[in-house]
Amino acid sequence: MSNSEIKNLSVTGMYVHTYDDVNGDNTGGVYWDGGSNNSIHDCTFSNEKFGAFFVYPGGATSSNISMYRNTVSNVSWGLVVGDGNASSTLTGTNSIHDNDISTFLPWDSTSAHDYYHHDGIFVFAGGAGSTAGGVQVYNNYIHGDCGTTGTAGVYLSGQSGLVNSALVFNNVIHPSANFWNDGLVYFFFAPHTGFYTNTLIGQSSSDSNSGMDIQGSSPANIRDNIFMNMAQAIYFADGSVTLDASDHNDYFGDGELVQIHAGANYNTLTGWQAVSGSYDAASSSGNPNLTSGNVPNAGSPVIGLGANLSSLSIGALDVDKAGTARPGTGTWDAGAYQHASGGSGIPDRSQRIMN
């Protein structure tokens, strides 16, 4: 089905899962198989395996899929876009934005019943020859208890296929309890992801959360972000540094700034700068001093820390998470909010829609 939308739908209580329950795997708010120019928006999903799941089928091309302004809670997967089989193609602009996604703990299970790798937003191209392109994940708030058997707040997964050149920006990811096993964000065979102006907040330097896990030849462009209070800010699971760029970020309260699997760990920004060449030369390790709504207070070191990314011509990036315009010239602030913003973690529910 193409050229269609689902809006203002409420699906709650389809399956109230409890710890180690192996049932409920096929429950969800919306399952949509194929088509183009489709949207799911302004819906509420709670207490089912997934909120909304769009499948782009094998041997076919889908395009221009959007999921926005949805509220999703007590699920294992929040919002999902994935291939149905080999040689699936997703093209156009495919956006997941302005959603509030929370609380994954009820879907925890033991390793023997590990059906539930919790993800706030999950985009995958698992089949041979499958490609997910034009993916944009922005302005989302992912929070609450993430449980102990989860994968990531945002998980881009290729493996036998590829999630190519995705854009991930203006998101606030802040688990209140437990940890995602791979990271607040996880890029797995997702090369050349642009990761800009996000605010990632763990609970402490020893909380087992990584900010970002990069694996499977997935070089990323990491600029203008805040990485705060987590075990590692960036983890290179392949054992080598794979970056397109990294700079103008703020790293504060992290146990390690960079960990390289089976290799060196860098606990300080100066230590990382000394060996990394051009990476993070203009970054900071100061306390970002955020309000309870994740906006920089006056005097915060993240004010003016960011590079001006308007040359990327990404319309939704030129405003912050609350809709406050970023400067057309001069520096930006790092993180999801400009310091003059009235922001909070909660997605903006205005009529601002950028698909």
pLDDT of 344 reads: 55
Residue 198 lies in a domain: yes
Select the highest-mean-pLDDT range: 162-171, 232-241, 260-269. 162-171
pLDDT of 347 reads: 54
Nearest-5° Cα angle at 116, 193 to 150? 50
Lowest mean pLDDT among 16-25, 57-66, 141-150, 189-198: 16-25
pLDDT of 4 reads: 98
Residue 109 lies in a domain: yes
What's the first-to-final CA gap in the chain, in angstroms? 19
Distance from the Cα of residue 301 to its chain's centroid? 24
Residue 61 lies in a domain: yes
Longest dimension (CA), the chain: 54
**Cβ atoms of 136 and 167 closer than 8 Å:** yes
pLDDT at 98 over 70: yes
Distance separating alpha carbons of residues 31 and 53, to the nearest angstrom: 5
Distance separating alpha carbons of residues 229 and 18, to the nearest angstrom: 29
pLDDT of 343 reads: 59
What pLDDT band is residue 317 in, cutting at 50, 70 and 90? very high
pLDDT at 284 over 70: yes
Distance separating alpha carbons of residues 263 and 254, to the nearest angstrom: 18
Residue 345 lies in a domain: no
Q: Give the pTM.
A: 0.95
Residue 89 lies in a domain: yes
Residue 81 lies in a domain: yes
Count how many domains the chain has: 1
For residues 233-254, average pLDDT:
94
pLDDT of 271 reads: 93
- Tell the residue number behind the tokens 């406050």, with chain if given: 324
Domain that holds residue 274: 29-285
Residue 339 lies in a domain: no
More confident residue, 345 or 8: 8
- Per-residue pLDDT reduced to its tens digit, 43-65: 999 999 999 999 999 999 999 99
Alpha-carbon distance values, 70 to 42, 51, 97, 101 (Å):
5, 9, 9, 8
The arrangement of strands across the sheet holding 265-266 comes to: 28-33, 50-56, 77-83, 119-124, 150-157, 180-188, 210-215, 232-236, 256-260, 265-266
What is the 8-class DSSP label of residue 98?
S
pLDDT at 345 over 60: no
Distance separating alpha carbons of residues 218 and 228, to the nearest angstrom: 23
Distance separating alpha carbons of residues 326 and 339, to the nearest angstrom: 10
pLDDT of 33 reads: 97
- Per-residue pLDDT reduced to its tens digit, 21-43: 888 989 999 999 999 999 999 99
Residue 185 lies in a domain: yes
For residues 87-96, average pLDDT:
98
